């Protein structure tokens, strides 16, 4: 299945920007582990009470995860989940969600 030209062009630009990553799918794969609760690509089901992550600014998302890890942001489960990922992995996850719209 071919992408329409305009979309293909946007995609190419996107790929060029993130070309520094060794495996371009790594952030996607890691972020997919969060989707079971926060929705596919971070688009949570509206009204179901889980926060959407799609389109959240990268630095903001990373700060929240840091605050979960340190315990300054009160949480039921994120304080435990956030400790399971390395800083590098979290960086990729945050970049992936920030790029979703």
Partner 1 sequence: MIINRRDFLKASAGAAAMAALYGCASGSSKASGHVLVVGGGYGGATVAKYLRMWSQGNVEVTLVERDAEFISCPISNLVIGGLKTLADITVSYDNLKNKWGVRVIEDEVTGIDAVSRKVKLEKGGELSYDRLVLSPGVDFLWEQLPGLKSAEAQRRILHAWKAGPQTVALRKQLEDMKDGGVYAITIPRAPYRCPPGPYERACLVANYFKTAKPRSKVLILDANEDVQSKKALFMKAWADLYPDILEYRPNNELRDVDVAGRTAILEFDRVKADVLNVIPPQRAGQIAATTGLKLINKRWVDVDWLSMEAIGTPGVHVLGDAIFPAPTMPKSGHMANQHGKLAAAAILNLLAGEEPNPDPVLMNTCYSFVDGKNGIHVASVHQYDTATKTMQPVKGAGGVSAARNELEGKAALGWAQNIWADMLA
Site string for partner 1, 18-47 (x = CB under 8 A): -----xxxx-xxx-xx-xxxxxxx--xx--
From 27, 39, 41, 53, residue interacting with ligand HEC (rule: CB under 6 A): 53
Query: Do residues 82 and 65 make contact, with C-beta atoms less than 8 angstroms apart?
Result: yes
CA distances for 4 relative to 16, 24, 76, angstroms:
19, 21, 44
Scanning 8-16, 20-28, 60-68 for contacts with ligand HEC by CB under 6 A, the matching segment is 60-68
Q: In whole angstroms, what is the distance from residue 5 CA to residue 42 CA?
A: 26
* Residue 17 within binding range of partner 1, rule CB under 8 A: no
* Residue 72 within binding range of partner 1, rule CB under 8 A: no
From 26, 32, 34, 44, residue interacting with ligand HEC (rule: CB under 6 A): 34
Cβ of 68: how many Cβ atoms within 10 Å?
19
Query: Do residues 98 and 57 make contact, with C-beta atoms less than 8 angstroms apart?
Result: yes
Nearest partner of 30 among 18, 41, 44, judged by Cα: 41
- Binding residues for partner 1 (CB under 8 A): 1-4, 7-8, 10-11, 14-15, 23-26, 28-30, 32-33, 35-41, 44-45, 48-50, 76-77, 80-85, 89, 100
């Amino acid at each position: 299945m071919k992408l329409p030209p305009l979309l293909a062009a946007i995609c190419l630009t996107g790929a060029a920007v993130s070309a520094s990553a060794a495996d371009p799918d790594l952030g996607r794969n890691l972020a997919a582990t969060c989707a079971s609760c926060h929705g596919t690509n971070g688009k949570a089901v509206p009204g179901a009470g889980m926060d959407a992550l799609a389109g959240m600014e990268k630095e903001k998302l990373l700060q929240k995860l840091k605050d979960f890890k340190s315990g300054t942001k009160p949480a039921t489960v994120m304080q435990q989940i956030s400790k399971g990922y390395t800083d590098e992995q979290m960086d990729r996850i945050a970049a992936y969600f920030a790029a979703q719209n």
